[in-house]
Structure 1
Amino acid sequence: MTQASSVGPASRGGPTEVIQRAAEAELLEAALLSGAHVLLEGPPGTGKSTLLRRVASARHIPFVMVEGNAELTPSRLIGHFDPALVLSKGYVPEIFEDGPLLEALRTGGLLYVEELNRIPEETLNVLLTAMSELEINVPRLGRVAAAAGFALVAAMNPFDAVGTARVSGALYDRTCRISMDYQSAEAEQAIVDLRTDGLDPQWRAKVVELVRSTREHEDIRFGSSVRGAIDVARLAVELARMRSTPTDDWHVGLAAARVSLSGRIRLQDACDRTPEQVITDLYVDVFGAEPVAPEDHSDSDPEGSPGEP
C-alpha cells in the first residue's frame, strides 16, 4: 500500500541530525530558495530523507512525504472524491480528499517522493505537470494552484535495477540534481554512535569497517548502508545480554552480522556462495579468526605419568 505522511514543520521519524552533509544541505536549501525542484540521487542509507527533513524543519515549512512504488497511481497522488458522499452531495469541493500532491500544493510545502524510479509513468507525468505549471487541473474539482513555497524533492537509488523504471530526460530537465554518496568512516561511526548507547569505540569502528567492506567485495554487487552497522550493533547488544556475554564476543558479533547484513547485500550473478558465507568471510577479515577454545583437561589423571600405560 502507498504510504503518505504530512509531518509539518517539525519533522518526525527519528533523529534529524545530519552528519557530514553541510555542503549538500547548503546546495539543497539554495535550490529550494531559488524555486527549483530537486532530485537527490544516491544509494540507500546516505541520509537523503534525513537531509530534507532537516532543511524543511529549519525553514519551518510543511513537509509531505510519499513512498514511491507501483501502487502510487495518479488518483492516490492527487486525491479523490469520497464515493459515499458523492451519492448524496454530488461532486462538491468540500468532499474531495486531498492526496499528498494537493496537500503540498495548497500549503506551499515540500512534496518528498521516495524511490522516484519505482512509480508508474502516468503518475510521473502528473508530477511533471505540477512541477512545470505549478498547478494542476483535477476533473470535477477544477484548478488547484501552488501556494508560495511549493517544491518537489524526489529521491532515488540510480544503481538499483530491480523493479525500477528509467527516469525520463523530462524529469532531469525540470530538476536540480544533488548526488549523495556514502559518507566517510568517521561520519558513519558518528551515525552509529548517535543511534546506539554505550558501545566500545574500537568495536564500533570495526562494525563500521565490516559494513563498508561489503561495498568493495568482488562477490557483492551492492553493499550495505550504514543502517546495517546500526542493526549489527543493536542486535549484538541484545544478543549478548541474552547470552550473558560481552557485546564484543566474537560469536555474538558474527551472529548479529549475518542476520543484519545478509539481506542487505546483493551478490554478483556469478557468485556461487550464500550471502551468509560472504558475510562470514568479511567478518573474519575484520574481527579475526574464530577464537580457539582452551582445551579441557578435567578428565585427565593428574597423578599419572606420561609413561604409564
Structure 2
Amino acid sequence: MRKVLIAFFAGGHVLLEGVPGLGKTLLVKSLSRALGLSFRRVQFTPDLMPSDIIGTQVLAEGDGRREFQFKKGPIFAQVVLADEINRATPKTQSAVLEAMEERQVTVFGETFPLESPFMVLATQNPIELEGTYPLPEAQLDRFVFKLLVSSPRPNELTEILHRTTGADVQEATQVLPKKGAHLVDEMKLLLRQILIAPPLENYVVRLVHATQPREQKGNDAVAEVKGFLRFGSSPRGAQSIILGAKGNALVEGRVHVSYD
C-alpha cells in the first residue's frame, strides 16, 4: 500500500502482479474509498474493445431531432482498475496509453480531458498464460512501479480472517472529503517540492545511463548489461526514480531525498 500511495501522489500508475485471491482488487477499491475518489473496474478479456474502455458515440433523440452524443467509458473515473490487463488484445491495451500519459482521450477526432487526479492500477496473473498477450514495451514504460503481490504471512492471514469472516466486516475508512481532489493535488505538489541534492541527481543519471547497452565501452563496461539488455531505461525511468525517492522521503517525514 505504501508504494501504491507513493506512485499515486507522484502522478504515476502501478502494475500489480500476483496470483488470484491476494486482495489486489480490494486494495484498489480501498484506496479510492479512503481518498474519496471515483472508482471504476474494467475486466479485460480477449473480446473487449477500445470503445468499451474510453467510450463511444451513441445516437440520441431529443427536441424532435437525432444527434450523436459521446457516452463516456470507465476510463473517466479517477481511479481505474484494469483487471487482468494482459488478457486483452494489444489493440485494446493500447487504448489506455493516451489516457495514462496525456490524461485525455481522443474519440472521432475530439479530445476529452480526464478528471484530476487520475490513476490506472493494472493487474496481471503470472500463472495462467494461456490466452494472454504480453504488455507492449510502450505501455510498460508508463507504469511507475511493477509490484509483486506475495502471499500474506501467518500473522497477516490471521488478521485478514478476523476482518473478513466475522459478523462485522470492516471496510476502508474515508480519510479525505468526498470531493477532496484539490487536497490530493496539493499533496502531489508538496511531493515535488521535496529537495534532492545534485550528487543524488547525478547518481540517478549515471544509474540510468549505465543501463544502455550501446554505452558499455572501455573499462567501465558491464558485461551483464551488454549480454542481457537490448534497450536501457528511458528518461521516464529516471523521472520515476526521483519522484519515487521524493515520495519515500515525504512518507518518512523528511524534506529531502537521501541515499537510503
Please tell me the TM-score bracket, short chain as reference.
0.5 to 0.7
**Bigger RCO of structures 1 and 2 (CA < 8 A, at least 6 apart):** 2
Partner of 1:154: 122
Partner of 1:189: 158
Partner of 1:54: 30
SS in 1 for 2:4: helix
* Cα separation, 2, equivalents of 1:162 and 1:150: 31
From 52, 72, 86, the counterpart of 1:76: 52
* Cα separation, 2, equivalents of 1:96 and 1:168: 29
Higher strand share: 2
* Cα separation, 1, equivalents of 2:105 and 2:55: 12
SS in 2 for 1:186: helix
Report the Cα offset of residue 90 of structure 1: 2.3
Partner of 1:134: 103
* Cα separation, 1, equivalents of 2:49 and 2:147: 26
- Does structure 1 retain, via aligned residues, the 8 Å contact 2:56–2:107? no
Question: In terms of mean alpha carbon deviation, does 77-86 or 128-137 score higher?
Answer: 77-86
Partner of 1:201: none
SS in 1 for 2:97: helix
* Cα separation, 2, equivalents of 1:173 and 1:81: 30
* Cα separation, 1, equivalents of 2:133 and 2:22: 21
* Cα separation, 2, equivalents of 1:80 and 1:147: 18
SS in 1 for 2:106: strand
Partner of 1:125: 94
Does 2:72 align with 1:90?
no
Partner of 1:100: 74
**What residue identity is the alignment partner of 2:42?**
V
TM-score scaled by structure 2?
A: 0.58
TM-score scaled by structure 1?
A: 0.50
1:105-254 map, 5 Å: 109-139=78-108, 142-175=110-143, 176-197=145-166
Q: Per-residue displacement from partner, 1:125-173 (whole Å, max 9, x unpaired)?
A: 1111211222121106x11112220111111112221221112222221
**Deviation >6 Å, runs of 4+:** none
* Cα separation, 2, equivalents of 1:78 and 1:119: 14
1:254-293 map, 5 Å: none
Partner of 2:213: none
Report the Cα offset of residue 197 of structure 1: 4.3
* Cα separation, 1, equivalents of 2:103 and 2:93: 15
Q: Per-residue displacement from partner, 1:14-45 (whole Å, max 9, x unpaired)?
A: xxxxxxxxxxx111011111100111111111
**RMSD, matched Cα:** 2.1
Q: Could you list the runs of 5+ residues in structure 1 that have no partner in the other structure?
A: 1-24, 199-309
- Does structure 1 retain, via aligned residues, the 8 Å contact 2:60–2:67? no
Percent identity of paired positions between Structure 1 and Structure 2? 28
SS in 1 for 2:16: strand
The structure number with the bigger radius of gyration is 1
* Cα separation, 2, equivalents of 1:191 and 1:162: 31
